[in-house]
Structure 1
């Protein structure tokens, strides 16, 4: 009987991990290739492309706290998840299926609308899915398992997107150039992603719990057990925003997401810039545009598995600190001015980014889940607060960088290299 219960728990965990797969697939495409797609394939100006990316991030950020409040008030977490999935499927597909004959104001409004629809749906799915963790987890170990499985699914989705991109884009006579003729290839990638994501969502709905537990049924984790995280304490506060810990956790999560997100956004544009310089040699952009992020997420995947078997004394704060150190090493490596005449150095840096991103993300999400469990707050509201800042700031940074781009671009041949 115990073995049967254990198998049921693992089925529940795996089905839970499937619930964010569509979001993760879309996120990998959005952050890695959307800005590149708008500038290189659709030939938009860098400032215009930056405004569209900023619009999506702002809409996502503003929708997040509203969604968190609504999910906690209604409690229908899986119903909200379904609504978000439908919005994502429509909005995401249209982003890569619209082919404008001319880039006028109405076309940009259309793109702004579908991007907003996609981001609102993404926020709904993300918050409703995250808020299920405190609903079904009764111990710190169970919380860690769900968080690790969720992040492992994220990494696997990113790896899948880069493999699909590598296969679809690599079959071309010119390995060093991507342009408007590749519109249909990006459309194909987006449709493949949507099919996989919808199938994964169906698994989530079939295998998820049939009865949702109310917030009053939370098992408050004893203080001795929660202290293993090194950060979360059972403070006597009437609202989670009055706790200083929520701001610390939000800052940790924001820093982790900002570093990883901005790196992924600008890697393809850097590779395109690198390929345009005649003195550079190495793999063509049609390979490196997928293989470099792929190496990053393979390293991230291996790290997420290793974190599952970490020692008990290796707390979430220690893991986060190690991640920060590795991220700084990668950043300093780029800043020192290595010219990447061989692609091997770029792959090493990508590995460092992957390891640091996995370590900081898993640890910050574990700390957030423990904060919810110990204090008995509504999970959706807390998660929406934690994710609000990184979405808003990442969009602002992208807009700032895009507005610093030289006109014409040839005046700044190392712009995206310097941006990293």
Structure 2
């Protein structure tokens, strides 16, 4: 009798408060990730690192993140305790992130600001930050499948999480806008001071929301089956025999690739190509995330089935293609139109992200004891592909810059 009552509650829709508390649990990761992808390359090149060295720092972090996601996924499936892994990762993120944007600490200790020392220093802290980030991400993402078996509630949880991702991004750009306006960057020390304040305030806001998550979210079950019996841990080879695993992996990897790479180069685009004001590198991303936030909230009110997930994802992909074409063709004289394009990018981002994450839960289904490995392995593909792509793009940018300077001279 008790098992049937538990199973019934496990299949019922999740309450609003529980959805909210779960949704804010990734805020620290989201706000630091937004800063990572939006400003890291810009920050490193502004303080004097070459495009290639900046790409090495980014790649070291992405590789560490990718490897750690698979490792933590296996450990979480083996031992459970989602909230313990989440808290350990959050602590590591909070401690290490300020060092990524806080200036080269080893350089000061060694009294050497050589390029090699700076690159190694930033790469080390980037790797540490991303290891903590991976622990929090995998534990938080894999919790969805263990909180409920209700398909609509799983999408609602993913949608709420995505909505607070937008809140995190908006918080970052609000902080960045104020900091860029108040602190003028005339020297390297000023630039480091700008980003140091952005990092400190981001960590503070993220930690406040994570505290709400710990207080309002119960540790979900992972070892108990839907009929109350204990299931054996699922081997990772089980997933590699499913065609759906590869389909979802491609969808998720490409989605994250589009979002992360576009976010990384958006600030360069509005400043270097469109020659817009410094404040635009905060305003344009803010518009994108306001629109994504609104769409994510609206998506929570829809009853979801697999076919509807595919339809909405396709719509988001098509919309992004048109936005990409518009960005390529947009002349500098019509730079203000980038704000209109940003609206549609925000809509496309929400449609693709919510549905791509929800497809993971369709793949997992009721195989709860392998959910962390699925999330970890898909994130591995995301991080490695993104890191390599950014490294290649930055390397080409570095070569083209040298050629351009030679031609100018």
TM-score above 0.5: yes
Q: Shift of residue 327 of structure 1?
A: 0.7
**Is residue 20–residue 126 contact of structure 1 (8 Å, CA) maintained in 2?**
yes
Q: What is the aligned partner in structure 1 of residue 268 from structure 2?
A: 269
Structure 2 residue aligned with 1:299, among 291, 295, 298?
291
Superposed counterparts of 1:383-402, under 5 Å? 383-402=375-394
Per the alignment, residue 244 of structure 1 pairs with: 243
Aligned pair 1:94/2:86, yes or no? no
Q: CA RMSD in A?
A: 2.5
Secondary structure of the 1:342 match is helix
Aligned to 1:403: 395
Q: Which residue of 2 aligns with 1:187?
A: 196
The equivalent residue for 1:3 is none
Number of residue equivalences: 380
The aligned counterpart of 2:3 is none
CA deviations on 1:121-155 (whole Å, 9 max, x unpaired) are 00000000111111111311111111111110101
Residue 370 to residue 178, structure 1, CA distance change in 2 (3 Å): farther
1:228 paired residue number: none
TM-superposed CA distance for 1:120, in Å, is 0.4
1:135–1:218 Cα contact (<8 Å) kept = no
Structure 1 unpaired stretches of 5+: 1-5, 221-236, 414-420
Could you tell me the TM-score, scaled by structure 2's length? 0.87
Where do 1:130-209 residues align within 5 Å?
130-171=141-182, 181-209=190-218
Residue 353 (structure 1) shift:
1.9
Q: 1:103 to 1:347 in 2, by over 3 A?
A: farther
Q: Secondary structure at the match of 1:20?
A: helix
Q: Distance in 1 between matches of 2:322 and 2:378?
A: 26
Distance 1:173 1:16 in 2: 38
User: Are 1:29 and 2:35 matched, yes or no?
Assistant: yes
TM-score by length of 1: 0.84
Q: Is the 8 A contact 2:160 2:300 kept in 1?
A: no
SS in 2 for 1:309: coil
> For residues 408 and 179 of structure 1, what CA distance do their matches in structure 2 show?
25
Give the helix-richer structure, 1 or 2.
2
Structure 2: runs of 5+ lacking an equivalent: 1-11, 229-235
Asked whether the equivalents of residues 49 and 115 of structure 2 are also in contact (C-alpha less than 8 Å), the reply is no
Change (3 A) 1:305 1:340: farther
